[in-house]
Structure formats: structure tokens, C-alpha cells
Amino acid sequence: MIELQNVCRTFIVGDQEVAALRNIDLSFGAGEYISIMGPSGSGKSTMLNMLGLLDRPSSGTYLLDGGNVTDLDDEQLARVRREKIGFVFQSFHLVPRLTAAQNVELPMILAGIPADERKQRVQVLMRNYGLSDRADHKPDQLSGGQRQRVAIARATVMNPSVLLADEPTGNLDRNTGWEVLKLLEGLLEQGITLVVVTHDAEIGARAQRRIHMLDGRIVSDESIQNDSK
């Protein structure tokens, strides 16, 4: 359902061309659990932005659910992001002025979903994530784990087919990090494709499919059939 064909991404830094992604060929099926690992500067963040349609390839083709999304305009890209892709970030990226419930509601507001339906969906999600009593709290009144749970609720409220998590546990202590990971992994049962970018080998090892990157190239792509954990 996701297919990258010979994708390159180059940046101009000063008067130098820097290649962040070089000739990437990659495809994921629905419901896969993928980790992307590599040292900083290896191109894993660029890869994530590319998969999330925040960045465009300099060359190559990106197919999402069978459709070519390489040459879509801003409006079409926004629509695809809204409907098919969820993001979870290391630093949560919650809007500090809005309550937890309003943060979860935000993607639906942008999508123009009527208020009653939004209320209902937010309520269900908040309950599922154990956040019901935190709904009216502002992000700065929440713990790190609660914040990331709000962020995950926000990322899944539009029922995306792909969830992209960029170091989702990076700002959390070990126990909270595991809880958040379990929450993310629980989404796999609903058929979501989970892509976790991390430099933590322990976390990366939880995925069935582990991709290692170095200097903008995929250096290894191994699938483990038996989940060890």
C-alpha cells in the first residue's frame, strides 16, 4: 500500500548539494510494523517526512494506496495527510492554548466534520486512552505520558491507514515509554501500518520489519516472522 520507487531527496546547503535520500526503493503492506533506525543524519527523518507527504521527492515516485501522490498540489496533499496519515512526534506538538479534547478535535475541525460527530469521536477516544478526566486540561497540566497519549489520540482520530511516529518515546522515561509503545502497537490490530523512527535499538527491535539507514541509503531491511516479545 506504500511504495517508494527510486526516490531521491537532495537539499541545497550553501552552495553544496546534500543528498538526504539516495535511490530508495521500499514498499510496505497494510498492517505492517516497521522500525526505521540509523544514526542522526542518516536520512531517517527525511524518510519520515517523505512518507508523511510533508516533503516531496526530488526525483522518483511515491505510490500510496495505489495512487501516485508525487505530483499532487497543496490542497490534495493536505487532504491525503488528513485522511490517511497520522503523526506522533517526539516533542508531542500539542497546541498549548487548547485543551486535551480540543487538541484531539483539531484534525476533524480542519476536515470540516460537524461538531456533534466530533464531540462523540473525541469522547470515545479519550475514554479508550484513559484520558476522560483530563479532557479539559491544557497540555502544560498533563504529564509526559498523558501528553503523548493525547497526541496519539489526535493522530488516530481520523482513522488513518499509516501512523508515523518520530522517536515517540524520546522525551519519556522508560516505563512511560513502554506504555506509549504498547498503545501504538495496539493499533496494529486495527490494521494500521505503524512506522516508528528511532535510534534506540531496543525499541527498533520490537518491530517485525527493521530498516537500517546510513547516509541516505537503506543498508539493511530484515523481516522477523516471530515476534520475540
Partner 1 sequence: MYLRDLITLTSSSFLTYRMRSFLTGLGIAIGIAAVILLTSIGEGLHQFMLSEFSQFGTNIISVQPGKTQTQGGNVGIFGSVRQVTLEDADALRRLPYVEHVIPGLVGNAEVRYEGRTRRTMVLGEGRDFGKAFTMKVQNGGFWTDADDEQARAQVVIGAKIQQELFAGQNPLGQYLRIGGQRYRVVGVMESKGQILGMDMDDTVFIPAARAMELFNRSGLMEINVSYRADVPAETMIRLIKERMIERHGREDFTIISQEQALEVLSSVLNILTFAVGALGGISLLVGAVGILTIMTMAVTERTAEIGLLRALGAREQQVLALFLGEAIMLSALGGVLGLGIGIGMAQGLHLLFPALPVHTPWLYAVLAELSAVSIGLAAGVAPAMRAARLDPVEALHAE
Summarize as ranges the residues that interact with partner 1 (CB under 8 A). 49, 52, 54-55, 74-75, 78-79, 81-83, 85, 87, 89, 91, 93, 95-98, 102, 106-107, 109-112, 114-115, 154, 158
CB of 74 to partner 1, least distance (A): 5
Rounded to whole angstroms, how far apart are CA atoms 72 and 102?
29
Number of other residues whose CB lies within 10 A of the CB of residue 159:
12
- Cell readout for 197 is 523512527
Rounded to whole angstroms, how far apart are CA atoms 47 and 24?
9
DSSP alpha helix (H) spans, 69-207: 74-84, 100-111, 115-128, 144-156, 174-186, 201-204
CB of 158 to partner 1, least distance (A): 8
CB of 114 to partner 1, least distance (A): 8
- In this complex, which beta carbon is closest to partner 1, that of residue 45 or of residue 169? 45
- In this complex, which beta carbon is closest to partner 1, that of residue 35 or of residue 156? 156
- In this complex, which beta carbon is closest to partner 1, that of residue 194 or of residue 206? 194
- Cell readout for 122 is 473525541
- In this complex, which beta carbon is closest to partner 1, that of residue 82 or of residue 209? 82
CB of 168 to partner 1, least distance (A): 14
Tell me the one-letter amino acid at 101: A
